[in-house]
Structure 1
């Protein structure tokens, strides 16, 4: 027969049993917490699609299913309950549901029910009703532009990708390179005037948007837009419209011109081929015909090896006799040249007798005779 336990031993065993129960209970509670998400978060992105998320792979061990329905006005029939058509998954575990634009109906109560079965138990996220018009998150503004409207005033404008721009309000934040904190302003339209600007500073501007009070009740802001910059000391992050022409004309263009000039100088000094291309030299024939000019003194036939007979054959070998013409004295029996024309008929009314020797016309024939 076993001896009874002492009181101290009994208390020790009871404590160990209680500790074991607490450890098991803690593990069970942690498992239930991991299997049952706390709630569902739904967001309508820019009126284009809707996502409802209820966890991640790290916190879920069961595949949950989502069911949804809308509550129509009293005059319409009750809309049927439908299951999610496009689940979002992480490693095979459903972590959310995606709705396209045709499945979104704003200004009607929207209800969802999420449940799962795990280990023979039903895991349920309580039914939740919501208004989708209060869950819209717009897209960030785009096409930010800065303009000078006066000497010390800037104007910032932008565009929105949201299909209902009148339902948006905006927030603008800016900071210069000498500021330590951002300055933020709420704006109702798509324009912001910056009244006082310092041309020695470099400014950075951001814009975001959200649904205003006339179209919904929400605190969901869009992401901040791509920044736009203005001012001096521009970094490689970007420049404003007014800064860009000044930067290119006064900084980039002179530096580029100087670099190009230095490259050309180096090429002209060190590369003889460039000199030949740009400034071709007149060839010196003495280098190629040194023997012709130095040894043969420019005698091409001798330098070319042409024989003397051939050279002599090209020389002229003909002669012409000179014909001398002189005036000869008249011979006996010769007739003056003009007398040979006495038979020529004189014009009517004139005598056919020869003119006097003083006549200029006959002086040409005075000492001319025709030899017989």
Structure 2
């Protein structure tokens, strides 16, 4: 009995050791299929795949890891995501064959060129570009003064408005998107967040900072000048001799009687 248990354990360990890792696949931006598997250090696997009614494709674009492959990108036609996708991962005696349903496993690229404009209506308008014009749902997140993110859905437009923003606040906004549910998109397959667009008091960095520093230095110089002037006045009041040296006394003219008489005689 004990020998049988040991044999079963060894056989189970052998089977597990000779089983290739699971493969996870998704459609990226409706342009290609990206499959990945757990990294190993024992060597590279060979990856093949095919859709229904399609010949077998050997991978020509492996995703490199540090020393071994960790995935594969392969071409894709948009209508193929409704067909069953087959994958085989193999290395020696290790083999794993799987079937994948990619209809809802679509991940779009993040929006690009996110810009911000203060409109004539005194509202803050954000705009962005996306690679697909139809069947795309967007989500916006923005925050003010590094506070908590606020989220909002945008279903058709490629713009978002923040009403009457504060000129003394800093606004930061990012956008992500996904395939709309009506076109087969799943609720959890969002793209990565876009690069942030920033507007507000801290957005104009160099000019505002230099102006602020100049005003501070001007105030410092004014204060120092006032202190020096007060010290000089105190020194003048308490040191009469120094006052005479710095501000000499101008003698007043005196009227002498005989000088006046001589002046009248000559005149």
**Could you tell me the TM-score, scaled by structure 2's length?**
0.64
Match of 1:107 in 2: 79
Secondary structure of the structure 1 residue equivalent to 2:183: coil
1:26-47: per-residue Cα shift (whole Å, max 9, x none)? Answer: 8963x75465345211133323
Q: Conserved in 2, the CA contact under 8 Å of 1:178 and 1:201?
A: no
Is contact 1:152–1:198 with CA below 8 Å preserved after alignment?
Answer: no
Q: CA deviation at 1:97?
A: 1.8
- Provide the secondary structure at the position in 2 that maps to 1:134: coil
1:66 maps to 47
1:217 aligns with 2:185: yes
1:66 to partner: Cα distance: 2.5
Whole-Å separation in 1 of the counterparts to 2:212 and 2:166: 26
Q: Could you say which residue in structure 2 is the equivalent of 1:45?
A: 28
Q: Report the 3-state secondary structure (helix = DSSP H, G, I; strand = E; otherwise coil) of the residue aligned with 1:166.
A: coil
Any conservation in 1 of the 2:136–2:178 contact (CA below 8 Å)?
yes
Does structure 2 conserve the Cα–Cα contact (< 8 Å) formed by 1:35 and 1:62? no
State whether residues 36 and 72 of structure 2, in contact with CA within 8 Å, keep that contact through their aligned partners in structure 1: yes
Give the one of 99, 106, 111 matched to 1:141: 111
1:125 to 96, 105, 113: 96
Comparing both chains, which one has the higher relative contact order based on Cα–Cα distances under 8 Å and sequence gaps of 6 or more? Answer: 2
How do 1:167-178 residues align onto structure 2 when only pairs under 5 Å count?
167-177=135-145
Map 1:274-285 → 2, pairs under 5 A: none
Gaps of 5+ in 1: 1-13, 72-77, 260-372
Aligned equivalents of 2:28, 2:17: Cα separation in 1: 28
Hey, what's the Cα distance between the residues in 2 that align with 1:195 and 1:37?
A: 55
Distance in structure 2 (CA, Å) of the matches to 1:26 and 1:198? 70
Q: CA–CA distance in 1 between the matches of 2:190 and 2:69? A: 27
* Structure 2: gaps of 5 or more residues: 218-267
Higher strand share: 2
CA–CA separation in structure 1 for the residues paired with 2:146 and 2:34: 41
1:198 is displaced (CA, Å) by: 2.4
Aligned ranges 1:1-372 → 2 under 5 Å: 21=6, 25=9, 29=13, 33=16, 35-58=18-41, 61=42, 63-71=44-52, 78-90=53-65, 93-99=68-74, 103-108=75-80, 109-118=83-92, 122-131=93-102, 133-149=103-119, 153-160=123-130, 162=131, 164-177=132-145, 179=147, 181-188=148-155, 189-218=157-186, 219-232=188-201, 234=202, 239=203, 243=204, 248=207, 252=210
The DSSP-based 3-state class of the residue aligned with 1:222 is coil
* Per-residue CA distance 1:215-234 (angstroms, 9 max, x = gap): 332332111111111222x1
CA distance in 1: counterparts of 2:17 and 2:121, whole angstroms: 62
CA contact (8 A) 1:37 1:55 kept: no
Q: 1:152 to 1:36 in 2, by over 3 A?
A: farther
**When the two structures are aligned, how many residues end up with a matched partner?**
212
Cα 1:151–1:33 change in 2 (3 A) is farther
Give a deviation string over 1:16-70, Cα, whole Å, max 9, x none.
Answer: x78x949x948963x7546534521113332343321122125xx3543322222
3-state SS of the aligned residue for 1:50?
strand
Contact 1:142 1:226 in 2 (8 A): yes
CA distance in 1, matches of 2:72, 2:166: 50
1-side partners of 2:85 and 2:15: how far apart? 24
